[in-house]
């Protein structure tokens, strides 16, 4: 029949053409290769291609999704015959879910015995090895593995115990916080936090701990068998009291104990020199001289030098001072200045520290004490904002006699007693505000006004020493800004503080003078030696820097 169809062709006789079409259709449906069977003929390949496309379109129409599921086509496809986005997202979510389930595998698997290991090997595709007697490898596993393997090994991530290491945490107390509160926020129970504070109170007044204080705590895993979640508990804590002392707290059973440790310090001498170019403190800092040492030097010269008006550019200072350091070279505090030389306008004013009959003080090169009846300025680093004499009052607005000297400085700047004496009046005094009057001797008094507050322990009738802090600068009373109003009263009458004829200090004599002169030579030798060592170390450092750069 196919042979006849090849000779007849297609398209000439309607009846035969219809029958041939049915043959082609049936052949395509059953997978017959009509090209090889000769149905196309020598000139009918194009016609057969078009005929084949019609067959494919017919199949497509019959197996369309919307025909199979009885839904409208527009529910699934857009106008451009593309799958709607909602179904794409749904298919993606299903794919992710299936992939996750496939990768997760069994949630937990425990080694419960040697037979489970053998079964696990079998499920992996290795099979259970059989020996000549027909026994499996279960006996081999049983002979090697311990009986309590289930308690020793867990392959499930949920059952695997993690070994926690001790952790150190640093805490800084902020405003409104307490040590106990910080510890409780870190997981320490209220009872233990109370015990820790009680132990700390043995060496530290916890009520005086201020914001900014820091401490370190170490946490370690709990050793209690009841804690199955590896709970971290506080094991120790340490807090620095100052640069030398620190408190260490350790857990001792159910309680906590505190120990005080103190660093060992050594006293060392340092030498320094600098030229004043911008400010005294700034020039000293560039030369490596600590600001605490400069403050001590200013007090040394406060009897004879006004650092606000007398110091000029290119003036020079030389210092030999003590520093208390720990074993690792960390400075803890600064000791006394053994030697200082202030060159003002080309004139040298050297001072040496000397112990005279148990009382140490500073003397010039001739053995004359620098200490006088009154200090020239009772405050460090203050600017003279108004001198003694007539002036236009800044508040009243008319000319009025100014019977003192004003030193402008920030609120809280310490005010020193200008000389030894007894406090005659301490308290409020009208336009003077907070006021102190000090009786230095039977003829001489000094007064301090517009104070912010008085120093601790300052009250009427108390005796104070020269240079002792008695109050702090403020702006109380009739004042336009923070400053110290300083008066000197001679026979109860205000006089110009800069023109008071004060007696000079005592002079060394006899054996004290000879001992002092020997001490001066020793100090000069120490200063030159340390200064040369410092210069050598500096030059070596520059040479090393050049070598590294090259």
Per-residue pLDDT, 59? 67
pLDDT tens by residue, 242-294: 878 889 998 888 888 899 988 888 899 999 999 998 888 888 988 889 999 99
Residue 456 lies in a domain: yes
More confident: 478 or 31 = 478
Q: Please report whether residue 157 resides in a domain.
A: no
- Average the pLDDT over 351-360 and give the result: 79
- Whether 109 is in a domain gets the answer no
Q: Is the pLDDT of residue 133 over 70?
A: no
Same domain, 247 and 283: no
The predicted structure's pLDDT at residue 88: 78
Residue that terminates a domain, selected from 198, 231, 262: 262
Which pLDDT band, with edges at 50, 70 and 90, does 376 fall under?
Answer: confident
pLDDT of 176 reads: 87
pLDDT of the residue at 70: 59
In which band, very low, low, confident or very high, does the pLDDT at 401 lie, cut at 50, 70 and 90? confident
**Number of structural domains the chain divides into:** 5
Distances (CA, A) of 99 to 92, 95, 188: 11, 6, 44
State the average pLDDT for the chain. Answer: 76
* pLDDT > 80? residue 237: yes
Whether 471 and 364 map to the same domain: the answer is no
Contact criterion met (CB below 8 Å) for 174 and 123: no
Instruction: Check residues 40 and 444 and name the one with the higher pLDDT.
Output: 444
User: Which of 193, 228, 262 is the last residue in one of the domains?
Assistant: 262
HEC string of 304-356 equals CCCCCCCCCCCCEEEEEEEEEEECCCCEEEEEEEEEEEEEECCEEEEEEEEEE
238 and 276 fall within a common domain:
no
258 and 292, same structural domain?
A: no
Residues 279 and 192 in one domain: no
| Cβ–Cβ < 8 Å for 287, 272 | yes
CATH code of the domain containing 292: 3.10.450.350
> Residue 123: inside a domain, yes or no?
yes
Residue 522's pLDDT is: 93
- Mark whether 142 and 182 lie in a shared domain: no
Of 124, 152, 180, the last residue of a domain is 152
Residue 84 inside a domain? The answer is: no
Say yes or no: 439 and 515 in one domain: no
Q: Is residue 387 assigned to a domain? A: yes
Q: 219 with 276, same domain?
A: no
Residue 192 Cα distances to 220, 221, 431, angstroms: 15, 16, 55
What are the structure tokens assigned to 221, written together? 């895993």
Q: Identify whether 55 is part of a domain.
A: yes
Range with the lowest mean pLDDT among 181-195, 491-505, 518-532?
491-505
Same domain, 322 and 339: yes
pLDDT category of residue 471 using cuts at 50, 70 and 90 = very high
Do 340 and 322 share a domain, yes or no? yes
pTM of the model: 0.50
For the cut 90, the answer to whether the pLDDT of residue 546 exceeds it is no
Is 523 inside any structural domain?
Answer: yes
pLDDT at position 130 over 90: no
Give yes or no: residues 242 and 254 share one domain: yes
Residues 390 and 495 in one domain: yes
Sorting pLDDT into bands at 50, 70 and 90, what band is 339? very high
pLDDT, tens digit, 9 for 90 and up, residues 407-428: 999 999 999 998 888 999 999 9
CA atoms within 13 A on the CB side of 16: 12
pLDDT of residue 277: 87
Mean pLDDT throughout 4-8? Answer: 41
Range of the domain at 241: 167-262
- pLDDT (0 to 100) of residue 100: 77
């Amino acid at each position: 029949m196919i042979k006849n169809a090849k000779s007849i062709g297609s398209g000439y006789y309607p009846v035969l053409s219809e029958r041939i079409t049915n043959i082609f259709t049936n052949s395509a449906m059953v997978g017959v290769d009509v090209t090889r069977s000769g149905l196309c003929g020598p000139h009918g390949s194009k016609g057969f291609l078009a005929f084949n496309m019609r067959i494919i379109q017919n199949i497509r129409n019959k197996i369309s999704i919307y025909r199979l599921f009885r839904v409208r086509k527009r529910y699934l496809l857009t106008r451009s015959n593309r799958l709607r986005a909602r179904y794409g997202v749904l298919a993606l979510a299903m794919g992710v879910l299936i992939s996750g389930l496939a990768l997760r595998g069994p949630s937990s698997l425990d080694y419960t015995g040697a037979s489970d290991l053998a079964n696990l090997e079998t499920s992996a595709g290795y099979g259970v090895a059989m020996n000549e007697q027909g026994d499996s490898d279960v006996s081999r596993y049983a002979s090697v593995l311990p009986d309590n393997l289930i308690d020793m090994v867990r392959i499930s991530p949920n059952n695997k115990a993690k070994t926690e290491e001790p952790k150190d945490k640093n805490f800084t107390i902020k405003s409104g916080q307490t040590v106990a509160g910080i510890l409780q926020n870190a997981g320490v129970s209220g009872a233990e936090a109370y015990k820790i504070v009680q132990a700390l109170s043995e060496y530290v007044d916890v009520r005086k701990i201020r914001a900014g204080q820091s401490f370190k705590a170490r946490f370690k895993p709990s050793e209690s068998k009841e804690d199955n979640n590896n709970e971290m508990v506080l094991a120790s804590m340490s807090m620095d009291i100052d640069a030398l002392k620190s408190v260490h707290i350790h857990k001792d059973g159910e309680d906590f104990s505190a120990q005080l440790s103190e660093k060992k310090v050594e006293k060392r001498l340092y030498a320094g020199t600098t030229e004043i170019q911008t400010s005294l403190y700034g020039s000293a800092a560039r030369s490596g001289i600590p600001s605490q040492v400069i403050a001590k030097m200013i007090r040394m010269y406060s009897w004879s030098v006004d650092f606000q008006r007398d110091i000029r550019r290119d003036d020079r200072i030389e210092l030999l001072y003590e520093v208390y350091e720990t074993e690792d070279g960390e400075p803890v505090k600064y000791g006394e200045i053994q030697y200082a030389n202030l060159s003002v306008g080309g004139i040298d004013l050297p001072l040496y520290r000397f112990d005279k009959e148990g009382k140490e003080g500073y003397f010039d090169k001739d053995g004359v004490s620098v200490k006088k009846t009154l200090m020239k300025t009772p405050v460090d680093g203050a600017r003279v904002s108004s001198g003694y004499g007539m002036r236009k009052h800044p508040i009243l607005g008319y000319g009025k006699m100014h019977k003192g000297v004003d030193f402008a400085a920030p609120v809280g700047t310490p005010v020193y007693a200008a000389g030894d004496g007894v406090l005659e009046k301490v308290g409020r005094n009208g336009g003077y505000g907070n006021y102190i009057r000090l009786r230095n001797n039977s003829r001489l008094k000094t007064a301090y006004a517009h104070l912010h507050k008085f120093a601790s322990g300052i009250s009427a009738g108390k005796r104070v020493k020269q240079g002792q802090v008695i109050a702090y600068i403020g702006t109380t009373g009739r004042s336009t800004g923070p400053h110290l109003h300083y008066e000197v009263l001679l026979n109860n009458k205000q006089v110009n503080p800069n023109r008071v004829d004060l007696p000079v200090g005592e002079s060394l004599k006899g054996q004290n003078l000879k001992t002092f002169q020997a001490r001066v030579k020793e100090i000069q030798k120490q200063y030159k030696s340390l200064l040369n060592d410092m210069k050598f170390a500096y030059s070596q450092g520059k040479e090393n820097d050049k070598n590294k750069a090259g």
